[in-house]
Structure 1
Amino acid sequence: MSEELKMEKVYDPSRVEGKWYPYWEDKGYFHADVDDTKEPFSIVMPPPNVTGALHLGHAIDSTIQDVLTRFKRMQGYNTLWLPGTDHAGIATQAKVEEQLAKEGTNRHELGRDKFLERVWDWKSEYGGRITGQLRRLGASCDWSRERFTMDEGCSDAVRKVFVDLYNKGLIYRGNYIVNWCPHCHTTISDIEVEHVDREGHLWHLRYPVKDSEEFLVVATTRPETMLGDTAVSVHPEDERYQHLIGKTVVLPLVNREIPIIGDDYVDREFGTGAVKITPAHDPNDFEMGLRHNLPSISVMDREANMNEEAGKYQGMERYAARKAIVKDLEDLGVLVKVDHHEHAVGECYRCSTVVEPMVSKQWFVKMAPLAKPAMEVVKEGLMEFVPDRFTKIYLGWLENIRDWCISRQLWWGHRIPVWYCEDCGGEICVQEDPEICPKCGSKHIAQDPDVLDTWFSSGLWPFSTMGWPEDTPELKQFYPTSVLVTGRDIIFFWVARMVFMGLEFMKDVPFKKVMIHGLVLDAQGRKMSKSLGNGVDPLEIIDQYGADTLRFMLITGNTPGNDLRFHPERLEATRNFANKIWNASRFVLLNLQDYTEGPRGDLKLEDRWILSRYEKTVKEVTIALDRFDLGEAARLLYEFIWNEFCDWYIELAKGRLYDKEHPEARHTVQSILLEVLEGTMKLLHPYMPFITEEIWHNLPVTGESIMIQSWPQVEGYQDSSAEEHMNQIMEVIKAIRNIRAEMNVQPGKKAEIILVAPEQESLGVLEMGKECIRLLAGGSQVDVVASLEVKPAQAASAVLEGVEVYLPLRGLLDLDKEIARVEKEIAQALQEQSRLSGKLNNEGFVAKAPEQVVAKEREKLEGINGRIGALQVRLAELKEA
């Protein structure tokens, strides 16, 4: 190697990262062709919303997938990471409707066809933003196979699945209570409702029992819905009310007679034990209404304003109507009392509007027949969750699953492939758009205006993206996929649905493993949101620190399934790690300018130690990655690179590197530095692809890119005795460094070092490591002896297992000045001790001060006591010297 080093003195992530991604993409390294000679490894990317911008949730999710993909690619697997985006029905339509509103128009004025043209235009202009951002993060997915949930292939798959399920009787249309968002003007599924604790009220209302002097007092958090009450329910075993079951009460304000019913669902301990039943505005009331054949009266429209059933309150917004109704109830003497009450309120996950349960005609998937096999494959171990604790969550949801409402009152999305005949009333569900009614031949047919829930198409993602319903080579090689990486918050939204869709249509699980990661929270443990203003833009981090730093920070200190708190100072620490790697690599490369390949000479202890530690790191990192413990693998790499390779071996290597008189020894250490650096960069590449690529291209190695090199395989370097012996030498060096620091010995002053080792083995180890100790402990000379007749004069000491360390202080420092300095420190510490003791002995202070303040003062006293003890030991050593 004789070329001039091209690595800049200071690591600049923007310069390095800006050039390598286009290089990889141009070379086609991310692309995977079908190859039956290789074992496959495949991942499908959880498709981010086409409206989206990169956030930290995407960043951690994509980084985990990229680490696994790069790792398996280097191991020789035929690796496919298939990317794509989701059409995001509600969010995308909202974006375009916002644009139209600014133009003074709306989708209804445009009409459906023109509106959809505008949405496709918007998608064309803005839809590629997040995929560009994923490239900046370093995502090595096969962009040539990028899919969109509404592209032609995915649309064909969606149509076939709907028609097949419909024909099997697993898709049906019926009146059912759904969650209605008055802002987005569509239904949303149960799992798209976010429940937020809010301060509210519990109104106690007196309902008179007909032909009686009795009243039933009911408690409600939503008095505006009482206008739609069709019963009052009590627990059938509640002795307070058993005699009233079968009678009727007169509904205040409406004067409608409604029955008193008994139902086990009622909680006797909540409120008064009597509850109003409004089947049209509460899912539990709806179920009770079905059990008791109650009528369903809706008192609100789709804007959440009161409708004609609300009488004089018609046209009022729901919360304005609440105030008016409460006032009227109070005037009638019906309002008994109002309690403050904190309860969970359901909000739309998109816009945070409080959802309104409503009875509506919608399309549903029957879940019971599909959920059972989706549970069995997990129970039988055919699909595993990592970590395993999420298995219980998954099974629990499927055991209690309700039918899935799949219709949405939107225009953007996969339109429901059902047509209605205006003449015979027939319902037509077919793969191709019909021109006439097959029952009566009429041309007067109209397609259902609704679209499918976005999660319907996402549920087909693992196989629709590979060409299904065609029997493609990709499906044969890459399905089932190897692992799904996703956040814990969408096990229900997405994971379970992919499982039952895969089993139904592919007759196999969609993935063998499901790796669940936690959420990225702020430093206080809160979810990041616009309303809290605590969000962090990954692109700003990349601009400031580089993608490698962000990636490594997100993975380190994180365990599978657990949430990660974002602390900005961790970015600083990771950037320091990147700089450490850069500087160490640069040092090694500067000392390889005259290096040529050739056999190594004799290995010293430190050589055998670093090679043994390197082999162990290779093995342990590989094992951790194979079990998806990416955080542990990253920790192992960090410890090896920073502590063992940089802080110890490189420092130990300098003596031989600079020794021009012994070229063989220099060549040996050059060879080891190169092998360990090259191998370590390969291990680190999945985590930090940019910096490792840059360093690798400066190494005297062959090949176009580090990412297509083989994963390190090391055999024969394991040397437990070298590790044990080197650890003993390192402990001695640390002890001497501690003595020098405690005694204020200037770094540049060389010291005589005396080591006493009575045991023959320790004596031999220390003799072998004398040069290491001299180099790294600032020694002028190192004497190793089995025993001492007389303790060295004016020496500080330390006792380790099997070794006594002496550092004669003569000539290293002015003893009188040092004694005076330590005595002054002791006096100051004693003064502080007296102050703290007096404070804590003051009964008034201890009794009146907050407990945490008293505890803090006790902690300070304990610390100062320890400091006084250490200073007194040091003073004694100085005086003895």
Structure 2
Amino acid sequence: MTLESRFAPNEIEPRLYAGWENAGGFACDPESNAQPFTIMIPPPNVTGSLHMGHALTFTVQDTLVRWRRMQGRDALWQPGTDHAGIATQMVVERLLAAEGLDRRTMGREAFVDRVWRWKAESGGAITTQLRRLGASLDWPRERFTMDDGLSAAVKETFVKLYSEGLIYRDRRLVNWDPKLQTAISDLEVENREIKGSLWYIRYPIEGEPGQFIIVATTRPETMLGDTAVAVHPDHPLYGGLIGKRAVLPLVGRSIPIVGDDYADPEKGTGAVKITPAHDFNDFEVGRRHDLPMPSVLDRQAMVTLAEIEDALVSVAGVADPAFVRTLAGQARFAARAAIVAELERLELLEKIEPHTNQVPHGDRGGVPVEPLLTTQWYCNAGVLAKPAIEAVESGRTVFVPKQWENTFFAWMRDIQPWCISRQLWWGHRIPAWYGPDGTVFVAKDADGAAAQARAHYGRDEALTQDEDVLDTWFSSGLWPFSTLGWPEKTRELDRYYPGDVLVTGFDIIFFWVARMMMLGLHMMGDVPFRTIYIHGLVRDEKGQKMSKSKGNVIDPLELIDTYGADALRFTICALTGPGRDVKLGASRVENYRGFVTKLWNAARFCEMNGMRPEAGFDPASVRLPLSRWLLDSANTAITEATTALEAYRFDEYAAAGYRFVWNTFCDWFLELSKPLLAEGADPADAAEIKRVGAHVLGLILRLLHPAIPFVTEELWDHFGYGETFSLIGAAWPEVVPVPDASDARVELDWVVRLIGLVRSVRNEMNVPPSKPSPVLLQGASAAMLGRVDRWMDAIRRLARASDVLPLSGDVPKGSAQAVLEEVTIVLPLEGLIDIAAERARLSKERDKLAADAKKTRQKLENADFVKRAPEEVVAENRERLAAAESEIARLQAALDRLG
């Protein structure tokens, strides 16, 4: 059966993927003697679906894994999903609400059971979608962060860290989501630009009638909890007030005026109100100055007076306890309006200015987050961070690109205690139990806690388990070893830990990478991975971040449906360079689908011309210059591709494959081989060209398989290079000796450049393809003329040359010229084009582009534009200028050719 005229991804991809999976093509082999290669998947949320960020990171990982398998490594790419506490709980709560149910009326046990049922029925759709992308994960080893084995690892770690004093309870500020009613991590907070106001409030100086210190605030509703006013010690106006006291408006409480560098003399008035229970920076000021920390907003973000009731004092014209009591139970923003109105009535409001600031919102709840003083479980990240810092400093783990080490160090060296508790029902419940007097017993299970309590009290006592669950990042921080069976001593753990490489985005260096480093080193005594490859973000074609509000979100599944997984994967590889974001759009994927089509069509040409793999073919046996040139070029492509993958240069790997396939193999080898395959050609020459063509096609399929696995496997199987579905395990191509490679390279490269130059000149001069032109060579040596003679048929056909002759006299009038080494290539154009009109056309195009380039250059030279314009707009203008300058140079070169 011959190849179809077109490659049909939607028909072929599901069959091939099922074939690989059923044949065990993705499986590692713990009993193997081969060198292991391990990548741990960043576990996507069980609620998630494939987005472009996933498509990027999993394409990169799969490319590495397939390449290492072909090199003979025992590759483990461990799949799995994260239970995603908040996200999953929200999904199920929405489903319950649609049924008229509420988790609180159901109770915890029934609700958690419902979540498990949802997970079994609907969770993990992303694992199916990863198959669509071609991700060759070892599916029988799939893990879930709440599997029994991983849950055992979580309890083991918690108990150990608690016993070492590295996990403890503390009362500190947390990001509190009033809608979801839980503490959330920094990663779950997104800052939104909000147009609001800056209120300037007069705080009377105690004992100095008519004297005030003016503070500026964006949050007047929290002033009920102020316990100080801070001033920079060097403040020219207010520095003398340090040590005095102010009267807190509305409340009437006397509060100190303290000196602290936190107060910025350049912002607002240079004096700031300090509300330690409702601002992270104020909390630190409060600790430095030993200030009280009363909360005035509760967990619903309503005003509560419980902690300031005793501090309400009536001060004429300044404070009225009766008014403050009316605020109790009001929502924060309603209370804000009432407080501002009362300050205005009391003439304590100096002024109001429009103010735009970044307001933190819960990324899932969607409401402004409140800093809230609560008692939570914490992990001493400062102690755990030190070995992780040392591991990167010493090179035990390296970042690629290296500059991300600085980001890692900056955060790790200033790391804060890690709040690990969450007020949710779905997740790893904290293994802590409380006795009747509040004594805490931490154990792996209830029986262990009961035994501790019995020893403590001398009798059995009823214990209550902590209601909170652990931060999702705690369990995912154990992922590199919990998925391998730890705390059990398994053969997988011994063989595959530490992993070779972690592939992830820079946005979770702090939240996941750092936690894996800290927990891996502490629990396992070694780093979890030797290399951390950090890729950029996927943006749209203009460089803008994808968002639903902009309407520029691209669905990778739609791209796969339209263009095939190979086209999307190759596009991602081609655009993924070190330290840069990926600008991706449907048009780019469509363009690279052309590459997949080119490969398919080249294979069809090979098949139609009898190029079939031949057992025992020896590349060293070839004698034709064209054969030697192709094999030598293949060696270069192999070296470039291997070097690129070793350096995580996926763009260079894709470029090496693209150049060799499209240019060398398709555009030149196949074209130059046609006369040797034609009827009447030397049978021995034809036989050799068929053997070489088939050999190199097989090499190409192996070289490209990591990036475009489907089309390469389909062709591999069709041509019979190996057993069905075997390309995934075929050997990575290696460089082979080629006899007289240098001579062949010199000759063929010269012929290729000659034809390319003639084509380029004809194209620049708008010579119609239907009009062959003579090609004259001035200054050609006898050796060069010999090459021309040997390749005359190909030069005439491919360069559209009526003849190729040496030129000894003057250059004919109206000729275009180009230089190849010491030879001047002359193309007489008289009678082929209107030379004057062509000169005018080229000049007009050049001048128009030059004018446009000037405007763009002036814009970029404007410092104000570069500073204020969005980064993607500046980048787009720079690209436009570079493209214009390149085209201007090309047009000028064409004019110069005309003399």
**TM-score under structure 2 length normalisation:** 0.89
Contact preservation (8 Å) 2:55, 2:556: yes
State whether structure 2 residue 238 is matched by structure 1 residue 220: no
Distance, in Å, in 2 between the alignment partners of 1:259 and 1:794 is: 91
Contact preservation (8 Å) 2:816, 2:897: no
Structure 2 residue aligned with 1:682: 702
User: What SS is found at the alignment partner of 1:308?
Assistant: coil
Alignment match of 2:519 (pick from 487, 493, 501):
501
Q: How many residues align?
A: 848
Distance, in Å, in 2 between the alignment partners of 1:344 and 1:271 is: 16
- Report the CA distance shift for 1:780/1:165 in structure 2 as closer, same or farther (over 3 A): same
Q: CA shift at 1:527, angstroms?
A: 2.4
Structure 2 residue aligned with 1:714: 735
Distance, in Å, in 2 between the alignment partners of 1:869 and 1:501 is: 61
State whether structure 2 residue 640 is matched by structure 1 residue 626: no
User: What SS is found at the alignment partner of 1:649?
Assistant: helix
Q: CA shift at 1:183, angstroms?
A: 1.7
Contact preservation (8 Å) 1:829, 1:864: no
Structure 1 residue aligned with 2:126: 130
State whether structure 2 residue 488 is matched by structure 1 residue 490: no
Structure 2 residue aligned with 1:642: 662
Structure 2 residue aligned with 1:290: 287
- Report the CA distance shift for 1:605/1:411 in structure 2 as closer, same or farther (over 3 A): same
Q: CA shift at 1:539, angstroms?
A: 0.6
Structure 2 residue aligned with 1:176: 172
Distance, in Å, in 2 between the alignment partners of 1:608 and 1:201 is: 75
Structure 2 residue aligned with 1:277: 274
Contact preservation (8 Å) 1:556, 1:632: yes
How is 1:536-615 mapped onto 2 (pairs within 5 angstroms)? 536-592=554-610, 603-615=623-635
- Report the CA distance shift for 1:365/1:833 in structure 2 as closer, same or farther (over 3 A): closer
State whether structure 2 residue 434 is matched by structure 1 residue 399: no
Q: CA shift at 1:750, angstroms?
A: 5.1
Cα deviation, 1:174-195, whole Å, max 9, x if unaligned, reads 1111110112211012343223
State whether structure 2 residue 78 is matched by structure 1 residue 82: yes
Structure 1 residue aligned with 2:794: 772
Distance, in Å, in 2 between the alignment partners of 1:757 and 1:35 is: 67
How is 1:35-54 mapped onto 2 (pairs within 5 angstroms)? 35-54=31-50
Contact preservation (8 Å) 1:826, 1:868: no
Distance, in Å, in 1 between the alignment partners of 2:75 and 2:59 is: 16
- Report the CA distance shift for 1:860/1:493 in structure 2 as closer, same or farther (over 3 A): closer
Distance, in Å, in 2 between the alignment partners of 1:472 and 1:379 is: 30
Identity %: 47
Structure 1 residue aligned with 2:241: 244
Q: CA shift at 1:349, angstroms?
A: 2.9
- Report the CA distance shift for 1:837/1:346 in structure 2 as closer, same or farther (over 3 A): closer
Comparing 224-233 and 67-76, the one that deviates more:
224-233
Structure 1 residue aligned with 2:719: 699
User: What SS is found at the alignment partner of 1:203?
Assistant: strand
- Report the CA distance shift for 1:104/1:365 in structure 2 as closer, same or farther (over 3 A): same
Q: CA shift at 1:764, angstroms?
A: 4.2
Contact preservation (8 Å) 1:83, 1:142: yes
Distance, in Å, in 1 between the alignment partners of 2:185 and 2:824 is: 72
Q: CA shift at 1:544, angstroms?
A: 0.5
Structure 2 residue aligned with 1:315: 329
Comparing 509-518 and 8-17, the one that deviates more:
8-17
Alignment match of 2:24 (pick from 2, 23, 28):
28
Comparing 544-553 and 229-238, the one that deviates more:
229-238
Distance, in Å, in 2 between the alignment partners of 1:831 and 1:641 is: 37
Q: CA shift at 1:61, angstroms?
A: 0.6
Structure 1 residue aligned with 2:443: 430
Distance, in Å, in 1 between the alignment partners of 2:94 and 2:465 is: 27
The residue identity in structure 2 corresponding to 1:604 is L
Contact preservation (8 Å) 2:843, 2:895: no
Distance, in Å, in 2 between the alignment partners of 1:770 and 1:334 is: 95
Contact preservation (8 Å) 1:279, 1:296: yes
Distance, in Å, in 1 between the alignment partners of 2:43 and 2:583 is: 24
Contact preservation (8 Å) 2:612, 2:691: no
Contact preservation (8 Å) 1:826, 1:872: no
User: What SS is found at the alignment partner of 1:121?
Assistant: helix
Q: CA shift at 1:276, angstroms?
A: 0.6
Comparing 799-808 and 637-646, the one that deviates more:
799-808
User: What SS is found at the alignment partner of 2:575?
Assistant: coil
Distance, in Å, in 2 between the alignment partners of 1:48 and 1:864 is: 48
Cα deviation, 1:640-672, whole Å, max 9, x if unaligned, reads 111111111111111111234421111111111
User: What SS is found at the alignment partner of 1:776?
Assistant: helix
The residue identity in structure 1 corresponding to 2:340 is V
Contact preservation (8 Å) 1:35, 1:78: no
Distance, in Å, in 2 between the alignment partners of 1:827 and 1:72 is: 56
Distance, in Å, in 2 between the alignment partners of 1:481 and 1:865 is: 49
Structure 2 residue aligned with 1:842: none
**TM-score under structure 1 length normalisation:** 0.91
- Report the CA distance shift for 1:552/1:606 in structure 2 as closer, same or farther (over 3 A): same
- Report the CA distance shift for 1:121/1:652 in structure 2 as closer, same or farther (over 3 A): same
Gaps in structure 1 of 5+ consecutive residues? 840-850, 877-881
Contact preservation (8 Å) 2:52, 2:556: yes
Distance, in Å, in 2 between the alignment partners of 1:24 and 1:288 is: 60
Gaps in structure 2 of 5+ consecutive residues? 307-323, 853-864, 866-873
Distance, in Å, in 2 between the alignment partners of 1:186 and 1:108 is: 15
Q: CA shift at 1:534, angstroms?
A: 2.1
State whether structure 2 residue 724 is matched by structure 1 residue 727: no
Q: CA shift at 1:414, angstroms?
A: 0.2
Contact preservation (8 Å) 2:504, 2:534: yes
Alignment match of 2:486 (pick from 460, 465, 468):
468
Structure 2 residue aligned with 1:879: none
Cα deviation, 1:614-665, whole Å, max 9, x if unaligned, reads 1011011001101111111111111111111111111111111123442111
Comparing 257-266 and 637-646, the one that deviates more:
257-266
State whether structure 2 residue 108 is matched by structure 1 residue 112: yes
The residue identity in structure 2 corresponding to 1:669 is I
Structure 1 residue aligned with 2:318: none
Structure 2 residue aligned with 1:667: 687
Contact preservation (8 Å) 1:757, 1:763: no
Q: CA shift at 1:289, angstroms?
A: 1.4
- Report the CA distance shift for 1:780/1:725 in structure 2 as closer, same or farther (over 3 A): same
User: What SS is found at the alignment partner of 2:191?
Assistant: strand
Q: CA shift at 1:831, angstroms?
A: 9.8
Distance, in Å, in 2 between the alignment partners of 1:837 and 1:797 is: 24
Contact preservation (8 Å) 2:50, 2:129: yes
Q: CA shift at 1:541, angstroms?
A: 0.7
Q: CA shift at 1:225, angstroms?
A: 0.5
Distance, in Å, in 2 between the alignment partners of 1:862 and 1:551 is: 29
Q: CA shift at 1:54, angstroms?
A: 0.4
How is 1:830-849 mapped onto 2 (pairs within 5 angstroms)? none
Alignment match of 1:358 (pick from 372, 383, 389):
372
